[in-house]
Structure 1
Amino acid sequence: MSLLRITDLRASLGGRSVLNGVSLAIGAGEFVGLIGPNGAGKTTLLRAILGLTASSGVIELDGRATSAMSARERARLVSYLPQEREIAWPVSVRRLVELGRAPHLPAFARVSAADVDAVDRAIQRMEIGAFANRPATELSGGEKARVVIARALAQEAPLMLADEPTAGLDPAHQISLMRVFSGLAQEGGSVVACLHDLGLAARWCTRLVLLDAGTIAADGAPGAVLSPDRLRDVYNIEAFIKEGAGGMIVHPLDLANR
C-alpha cells in the first residue's frame, strides 16, 4: 500500500490553472525529489496534499482519503516543512522542536518519555544541541532553518513533505540534510522534497518527479529523468551530466541556445 496516492489532482490560483490532472503514488522507503522550473506547481502540489490549497481529485494517505481525516489524524501521517522559516516567538530551540510532538499529545498533556526521545533524536540529527536552550529568535537564518527542520523530524510522521528544505543552508549542512532524508528513507519512511539544486537531487534522491506547467513531465530514477534534452526542453539550460562514484553529477552551465 502506498503512503501517498494522488489521482487526477487539479488546482487553480487566482483564476489560473496550476495543477492539471496530476496522479502520483509514493511508497515507503522513497526519497523523492520534486523538481521543475519556477511556476511549475511544486509548492501548490504540496499544499494541496495538506489541504492548504483548494483542489479537486483524490488524495489518500495510508489508504484513506484525506477528506475524511481530521487535521490531527493527517498530522500523524505527514509532516510539512514550508518555505517560510520565520520564528515569531522567543521560545527556546528545544521548546520549538517539542511543538512537533503536538499531533501525538492530548490537549494540555505533558510530553512523555517517548516524546523527549523523539525531540532528542531530531536535535541530534540536525546538530543543534549546542544552542538547544537559546531563544530561537536569536539564531542566524541557517540555524533557524535547521531548527524548523528538527521540529518536522520530531513529528515522526511516516511521510515528510519539504518545500525547498536546503534554502538558507551552507553546502555542508545541505549535504547533511540530504543524508538525514536518505536515512529516513532507509528506515522505511518517505520524503518528498521540492529541490532547485539539480546536483543534490540527482545525487541523493532515489526518484525524481519533474513537474512542468502543472503536469508530470517525467518520473523515475535520476538518470532517466535528467537527460540533456529534457533539461533543455523544461529548464532551457545546458548542463554537465556525468555518472560519478557516489552518484550522478549534474551542473548547469549556461542557457540553451535556441
Structure 2
Amino acid sequence: MKLTGCAAVVTGGASGLGEATARGLAAEGVKVAIFDLNAEKGEAVAAAIGGVFCQVDVRQDASVDAGFAKARAAFGQERILVNCAGLGNAVKTASRDKQTGEIKHFPLDQFERIVQINLIGTFRCIAKSAAGMLQLQPMDDGERGVIVNTASVAAEDGQIGQAAYASSKAGIVGMTLPVARDLMNEGIRVNTILPGIFDTPLMATMKEPVRQALAASVPFPKRLGAPAEYASLALEICRNSYLNGACFRLDGAIRMAPR
C-alpha cells in the first residue's frame, strides 16, 4: 500500500507504541487520527503531527462511533487502523496470603475489564473500521485497507499473574486469521504484532535496577525494545501488501520465564 495521502486511525496513540506509530505514519504523509482517553497527551501528539485527537473509550460503542465520525470528518475514511489501546495487571488466579493465610481469587470485574479493553475493544474497532473501508475504492492489488493489531508475547508465554492479560492477547492472536479470511474478498488485510519488553511509559515507572534486569533477560539485543521499532514493523505491514493473516513476534528472541 502506498501510504502517502492515506488516512489512519491509531488507538492508544497518545503514548508508547501507539504514539510512535502515529508519528511514524505522519512522517510518511499519512493523515492520522489518535484515539485515546488521555486528552492532554493525545491533543499534544495530534498537534505535533498535524493530526486530530478523538477522546475514545474502546469499551463503548457510542464512544468509538463518535471517534470514527470525528476522524472521518477531518480526513475521510481511514485505510489504515492500528490497534494499540490496551492495559494489563498482575493478579494470581487464586492465592494464599503468606502472613494471614487468607485465600483470595482473581477479582472477576478486573478480569472482565482487561478483556473488554484489550480483546473486545480491539475487535470493536476492527469491525467498525472495516465496515467503513468496504466503501472505499480499491487500490493496487484490489486493496482497500489494512489493520494492524497489538497482542503481546504473553499471548504465548504468559507469566504468573497474567491470566487475564495473556488470555486477552491470545484472543487477538486467535482472531487474526479468521478476521483476515472474513475480509479477504474485500481487499482488507489483517495482521498482529506480538511485542516483547518495550520501553513504554509503564517501564519508565520502574526502578532502574528492575529495568536493567529486564533488558538483560533479552537474548539479543540486550535492551528494551524501542517504540520506534514497533512503529517500523507496523508501517512495513501497511506497505507490504503480501503480509496478511500473520502474527509477528517482535521480542529480541525472548521467551518469558514463569515470573
TM-score by length of 2: 0.32
- Higher RCO (C-alpha 8 Å, min separation 6): 1
Tell me which protein shows more strand as a share of its residues: 1
TM-score by length of 1: 0.32
Tell me which protein shows more helix as a share of its residues: 2
